[in-house]
Amino acid sequence: CGVFGVIGVNDAANFVALGLHALQHRGQEAGGIVSYESESGFNSARRFGYVRDNFTKASLMETLPGSLSIGHVRYSTSGSKGATQIRDVQPFFGEFSVGGVAIAHNGNITNAEALRRELIERGSIFQSSSDSECIIHLMARSLQRTIPERMKDALRRVEGAFSVVAMTRTKLIGVRDPLGVRPLVLGKVGDGYALSSETCALDIIGAEFIREIEPGEMVVITGKGIESFHPFERKKSRFCIFEQVYFSRPDSILGGRSVYETRRQIGIELAKEAPVEADLVCPVPDSGTPAAIGYSFESGIPYGMGIIRNQYMGRTFIEPTEQIRNMGVRLKLNVNRALIEGKRVILVDDSVVRGTTSLKIKQMILDAGAKEVHFRIASPPTAWPCFYGVDTPERSKLLAATMSEDEMRDHLGVDSLRFISLDGLYRAAGEAEGRKASSPQFCDACFSGEYPVEPADMIERGFEL
C-alpha cells in the first residue's frame, strides 16, 4: 500500500490526491482520503479503482476541504480474503473522548488475529476485515490523554511491519515500526509538511525531501513544527530488500540511494555472476528494465525492447484473483517480433513467484522466432511468503519452494535460468561486503526464510518456519 499526508497547505486533499497518484504502483484496488476543516470537521471519501478516476473530480474534491489531509492506496495482502470491500478501504477513522483520529497503514500486522480476538472479547466492534483496524481499537482502549500517546500505547502492542500516517484535528503524525520494514519519508511543501511512502510522491507536489522517518520513530507535526519520539525498544533496522528490487518506483530514493541505480547495479551483478552468450538483452517491462540496462552495460550485449507493454494496464500481480492474473499477462505484454526473430535472447525480470509470467513470456518469445531464451532474475528465488505487506501466495504455490534452480529451468522450458545471489543483491543495494550472516541489514525473509519478526498469526494457523 501507499500512504501520504500533508499539513499546512490550502486544499490539502488535492495535494494528497496527487501524492497518491504518484504512489499508485503501491496499490491499485482502492484509495481513500480524509481531510479536516474546523467548520465541517472530518470529511472522507473512499473509492475503488485508480486515484485519477476518482480524486480528480471537482465535485468530490470540494467535499474534502481543509489544510490537513491524509490518504491511502490499497493493495490487499494474504491476510485479506476475497475481493476488497469498501469498508476495508482506508483511512480508518475513530472518535474518542480526546478527539478524532484518521489513520492510514502500509505493512502488515503479524499478530492482528490474536489482537482482534482479544479486542472483540473485550467489546470492540470491528467494521472491516483489515488488520489495520486493530490500531484504532487499541487506541480507543488506551487511557492516555492525547492521541499521540494513545497511538504509542497501541503500536507497542502491534507486531510486524507498519508505516503509519495519521491525523487529528491539528496534527499530522507519522510512525515507522522498530525495524523500519516499509518506507516513510518527510518533506517540506510551502509552509507545511508532507509524509509519504516514497520520495517520488514528494516530487509530484513540488515538496522538498527532508529525511526518512527513522525505524521506530514517531513524528508529530503541527503548525509549530515537528516533534520526534522513539516509543519502541531500539532494534536493528531491517528494511524490505524487495522494495529495492520491485516495489518502490525507480525514481524514488531509499536509504540515500537511487532505486534506479540499485536496480541497474543488480543487472551488473547478474551479468558478472551469470554471464551467457547471446544477441539481445531484453527487459520484461517495466519492473525488469533498469536491471536489463545494467546487464547489457556490463556484458556488452545490446539492449532492446523485445516486449512492449500496453501503458493502460496495471501491474498484473496486484489483481487479486488467479483468473484475472492469468488473463493479465496477455492483455499487458506483446512481443516485438521484428527485434526478436532469430536471436538468442536474455530476458531480465525482477522476480519469479508462481512462474506464471515467465512461462507465458517464454512462449511468446519462442513463438516470435527466438533461437534461445535465457532468463536472468533480479532477485534470488522467492521460496518463502512475505508476512509484512507484500502479497505472495502460500508456500506451496511458490515455484522456488518446491524446485531447484535446474528444475525451475526445465519447468519453464528455457535454455538457462539464473537468479542473482543474496550476496550480489546486497552488494547492488550498497553493502560492499554482501550479506554478512552476523548482521543482515535488510529483511530478506522471502528469499532466506529468516523472518525478523515471528509471524505469530501464521504460526498459529500451522505455518512452519
Catalytic site positions: 1
By the rule CB under 5 A, 358 interacts with Mg ion: no
Q: Which residues contact 374 (CB under 8 A, 6 or more apart)?
A: 276, 278, 344, 345, 346, 347, 414, 415, 416, 417, 418
| Cβ proximity of 259 and 250 under 8 Å | yes
By the rule CB under 5 A, 24 interacts with Mg ion: no
By the rule CB under 6 A, 352 interacts with ligand 5GP: yes
Nearer to ligand SF4, 80 or 296 (CB): 80
By the rule CB under 5 A, 287 interacts with Mg ion: yes
359 half-sphere exposure, CB direction, 13 A CA radius:
10
Kindly indicate which of the ranges 15-23, 168-176, 270-278, 382-390 contains the residues binding ligand SF4, using the contact rule CB under 6 A.
382-390
381-420: contacts with ligand 5GP (CB under 6 A):
382, 390-392
Judged by CB under 5 A, the number of residues near Mg ion is: 1
Cα dihedral across residues 296, 297, 298, 301: positive or negative: positive
Q: What are phi and psi of 313, to 5 degrees?
A: -110, 150
Determine which residue in the list 354, 371, 411, 418 makes contact with ligand 5GP, applying CB under 6 A.
354
Q: How far is the CB of 459 from ligand SF4 (least distance, A)?
A: 15
Q: What letter does residue 114 receive in the DSSP assignment?
A: H
How, if at all, do strands 442-443 and 239-240 pair? parallel
Determine which residue in the list 55, 75, 242, 375 makes contact with ligand SF4, applying CB under 6 A.
242
Kindly indicate which of the ranges 238-246, 287-295, 317-325, 393-401 contains the residues binding ligand SF4, using the contact rule CB under 6 A.
238-246
Kindly indicate which of the ranges 37-45, 128-136, 297-305, 440-448 contains the residues binding ligand SF4, using the contact rule CB under 6 A.
440-448
| Cβ proximity of 435 and 444 under 8 Å | yes
The alpha carbon of residue 195 and the mean position of all alpha carbons in its chain are separated, in whole angstroms, by 16
Cα dihedral across residues 190, 196, 198, 204: positive or negative: negative
Distance CA 224, CA 230 (A): 20
Question: Pick from ligand SF4, ligand 5GP, Mg ion, none: which does 268 bind, CB < 5 to 8 A by kind?
Answer: none
Distance CA 102, CA 170 (A): 12
Q: What letter does residue 303 receive in the DSSP assignment?
A: B
Nearer to ligand SF4, 305 or 383 (CB): 383
By the rule CB under 6 A, 319 interacts with ligand SF4: no
Kindly write out the interface string for residues 140-179 of this chain, putting x where it contacts ligand SF4 by CB under 6 A and - elsewhere. ----------------------------------------
Strand order in the sheet with 280-283: 280-283, 344-349, 372-377, 416-419
Distance CA 281, CA 293 (A): 8
Question: Pick from Mg ion, ligand 5GP, ligand SF4, none: which does 181 bind, CB < 5 to 8 A by kind?
Answer: ligand SF4
110-129: contacts with ligand 5GP (CB under 6 A):
none
By the rule CB under 6 A, 36 interacts with ligand SF4: no
Kindly indicate which of the ranges 136-144, 226-234, 274-282, 287-295 contains the residues binding Mg ion, using the contact rule CB under 5 A.
287-295
Which parts of this chain interact with ligand 5GP (CB under 6 A)? 246, 284, 287, 315, 317-318, 349-358, 382, 390-392
